[in-house]
Structure 1
Amino acid sequence: GGGKGGGMSGMERDRLRVAVLDEAHIVCATLSFAGSGVFYRLNRKFDVVVVDEAAQCVEPSVLVPLVMGCRQAYFVGDPVQLPATVISTRAVEHGYDCSMFKRLQQAGYPVKVLNTQYRMHPEISRFPSSEFYDGRLIDGDSVVRSPPPPWHAAAIFGPIAFIDIPGREDVPKNGASLINRAEAKLVLCLFRQMTLRHPRLLTSPSVGIISPYKAQVNYLREKIDKALGDETARMVDINTIDGFQGREKDVCIFSCVRGQRRDTEDKDGKKKKKSKGIGFVADERRINVGITRAKTSLIVVGNAQALMVDEHWSNLIRSALERGRLFRPKAPYEQWIASAAMGEVEPVQPTAEEIQVLERAKMKRLAREKAKERKAARAAAAAAAAEEA
């Protein structure tokens, strides 16, 4: 062999790679590698191209493998989960983050929906099914017949629970992300009490803690490592929504972060007005990913008042209230969660103001559903008229 020490030269490696690919019936590659020079040196083309996670890539990247003689293309993905990561806001404004999957779907191209889910407990899938999938999700036999885990004996531990905590959001020093210390403290107490009562959750990484903000993820990792030790910390997976895309855990604790923001001052010393929005936490695709990672228990920790400015979050909070799964903790949190684990804490009843907000969100949802029905009816009428013509 050529090269130093008898190693294979770069040219020889390329020839070997081409020889292997020429004989392969199925070739797996990333979209970018599908455009490498080695594919252009093959003695054949690829008739069929299958693109996985097709709703999470921009259109130009999907075009790369389609120029290899493709006659049939299959796009597999979920357009109501995370889109492609596009840093430029101007590019997003011009639709660059729209995938080819989504564009074809919007153009009326028929989409085959695989609507049976085999991950989530039926009580967890109930809300995303109605909110994001028009009620079309079907629970597979394996999740319907699966016996409840022992931690379901306490309502605070699932299968679904919303813990309303009036925490404040802060911007850490030298950072642009957000943290919520009160939520982090409660999440730590939840994890500690849950694993203390159910040690099997520590025999493998069965618990996931999810947050939309990287700063909160780092803060949670630091606090859990400091409070519980490195060995226990390794048994919990703490990551952002993006980091959990395509993954699952038995138990997921979701820290929303957004809440009341501390007063800040401008350069003249005047207090700035607090923002009423909740940023990209309101993105329905991020909400959908965040609340569909859990198999047996989903525990959402957030500030209900702050989150209810968004229609989707209002609907989730209303769903938790209607099912008797909304709790408001009292300090000290460790003691309160211990009491809740023993069934000594009752779910809260909504205030008159909350009922009004939730009813408005319900009316908006009904109006949106009716508008969707009218749009579908118009599309069907247009298709029928086109066929007659």
Structure 2
Amino acid sequence: GGGASAFKEKMKTLKAAQVICCTCIGSGSDMLDNMTFDRVLVDEATQATEPAVLVPLTRGCRQLVLVGDHCQLPPTVLSTIAEEEGLGVPLFSRLVACGVPPFMLDTQYRMHPAIAMFPSDLFYGGKLCNGVSPPERRPLAGFPWPREEFPVAFVPVNHGVEVDDGVSKVNEAEAAAACDAVAALLAGGQCGTQDIAVVTPYAAQVRLIRRLTRKLTAARGPPHVEVSSTDGFQGREKEAVVFSSVRSNDYGAVGFVSDWRRVNVSFTRARRGLIVIGNDHTLRRGDPDTWMPWLAWADAHGINMDKPGVPRGRYEPEQLRRVRGGTTAAEMLKDVLARQQAQLKTAERQLERAEAKGKGHIMGRSGDDSGEDGGEGGAVTAGGGDSQTAAAGGNGGAKTLEQDLALLENEDGCWDDSDSDGDADVGMTPSVSRTTLATGSSSNRNSDAGDDEPMDAWDL
């Protein structure tokens, strides 16, 4: 019948194709059962779990290229136990930790150089280069940028209060400030609602700001200003991005807002203007590793809108690293992997005890901090060229954790949250910066979080 005929036509098309594009899990489709793929390229590899990446490798893979950014958010894992067992560590990051040298795509074509400055200095060791000039990304009119021709601003909202909303949080004062920023940008006449995004880590804040911005722009009609969680906006870009951190308390609790990878994603989505809104007292007190350096950088560059008299001298990358305590992205990755290994060992001991009592069982849990609805530099790992190499890199063989991490000592590693789309091509899209390609094993991007952009070089 018609169904059988359509199926034969699809199979004929597949067999004639030189390149087949699909998701990692989709590569396990019955329609591909009689086909082999010598070469596998996995985009957004750092957002794919290892089991997902293994699916396309079973199709006869001999050469694997992993493209991603381990300086941005890892796969979303909803089970705490599964995350503690290591499911949240993507194959890309594990290969880097095992010594497969990454090849870095270090030029970004998305952001005004001023927007790229802080992420480059703090997250990418100062190695990020700009493929666009300031005249190509002129600051948007309407918003009162603290510095002319420097489209980055920090708007302190210290009178706001964070309020629990179920398992999420809202901050009405910051939501109002975000709407004010949107109104100012729209009044400037150089961008429309489709060119602006408001990004925040909390789903409840997303819902509040979405309601407010739709009221604000009701007369304009669709498209509306996009409001998204940080995790959901990874891989996306807009002309202007307004970020609301939400957290505002006297004891410096910032929760997963302190995740440096989440901050990196949030700060690298904008092309011509980045407006950061938050309680500087809470952020300084709660996160000395990422937010304190950011606020010090904002003060030094005269972009803290509450401190117009701050000197505007260059805040050198070396100073950033001193403020941060000398921690680099590579060192942070080591810490993450070390914690994963420690958690895995603990889980193994618990399982052994349970099995000894005849109660062995398997459980899973994933842990994307955001717990809400839910950016791209990259490194390119050019490791071996066959599946055997990839497999060896994936599990580290008999190497100890110390040996694995020692292989990173001479590298400036960088690495890379669910409501957005993505669009990046290695070395090809306009938003390219550092992307991580891992050759010698294959990986595909796994995006639960929503709209993600396929990892590019740095779809910053």
TM-score by length of structure 2 reads: 0.66
Q: What is residue 160 of structure 1 aligned with on the other side?
A: 152
SS in 2 for 1:326: coil
Taking the aligned partners of 2:113 and 2:142, their CA distance within structure 1 comes to: 13
Contact 1:221 1:233 in 2 (8 A): no
Shift of 1:147: 5.8
Distance 1:124 1:105 in 2: 28
Residue of structure 2 in register with 1:219 after alignment: 208
Q: Return the structure number with greater relative CO, CA threshold 8 A, min gap 6.
A: 2
Residue-by-residue CA offset, 1:206-227 (whole Å, 9 max, x unaligned): 1111011111111001112223
CA offsets 1:92-123 (integer angstroms, 9 cap, x no match): 12221100000001111011100000011111
The answer for the alignment partner of 2:136 in structure 1 is: 146
Cα pair 2:122 2:328 within 8 Å, conserved:
no
Superposition map of 1:237-256 within 5 A: 237-256=226-245
Distance 1:195 1:99 in 2: 40
> What SS class does the counterpart of residue 97 from structure 1 fall into?
coil
CA contact 1:314–1:361 (8 Å) conserved in 2: no
Structure 1 residue aligned with 2:189: 199
- 1:183 is aligned to 174
Percent identity between the two aligned chains: 36
Are 1:116 and 2:92 an aligned pair? no
Contact 2:142/2:184 (CA < 8 Å) preserved in 1? no
The structure with the largest helix share of the pair is 1
CA offsets 1:227-278 (integer angstroms, 9 cap, x no match) = 33163563421111122111111111001101118xxxxxxxxxxxx6x431
| Higher Cα Rg, which structure | 1
CA distance, structure 2, for counterparts of residue 368 and residue 287 of structure 1: 16
SS at match of 1:259: coil
**Local SS of the residue matching 1:161:** strand
Distance in 1 between residues matched to 2:13 and 2:164, nearest whole Å: 52
Cα distance, 1:188–1:153 mapped onto 2, change above 3 Å: closer
**CA deviation after TM superposition for structure 1 residue 15, in Å:** 2.6
Runs (5+) with no aligned partner, structure 2: 312-318, 332-401, 412-460
C-alpha contact (below 8 Å) 2:48/2:75 kept by paired residues: yes
Check conservation: 2:49, 2:90, Cα contact below 8 A. yes
Distance of 1:37 and 1:348 partners within structure 2: 66
With normalisation by structure 1, the TM-score equals: 0.77
Q: 1:232 to 1:299 in 2, by over 3 A?
A: farther
Match of 1:209 in 2: 198
Question: In 1, Cα distance between the equivalents of 2:238 and 2:210?
Answer: 17
- Quickly say closer, same or farther: Cα 1:147–1:23, change in 2 above 3 A: closer
Task: Give the whole-Å Cα distance in 1 for the aligned partners of 2:83 and 2:55.
Answer: 21
In 2, the alpha carbon distance for the partners of 1:115 and 1:90 equals: 36
Residue 252 of structure 1 contacts residue 297 of structure 1 at CA under 8 Å; is this kept in 2?
A: yes
Unaligned runs of 5+ residues in structure 1 are: 3-7, 262-273, 329-345, 351-359, 384-389
| Displacement of 1:13 | 3.3
Shift of 1:378: 6.3
User: Aligned partners of 1:246, 1:366: CA distance in 2, in Å?
Assistant: 29
Structure 1 residue 279: deviation in Å?
A: 1.3
Q: Does residue 365 of structure 1 match 2:290? A: no
Q: Which stretch shows the higher mean deviation, 363-372 or 123-132? A: 363-372
Q: What's the CA shift for 1:152?
A: 8.2
Alignment partner of 1:178: what SS?
strand
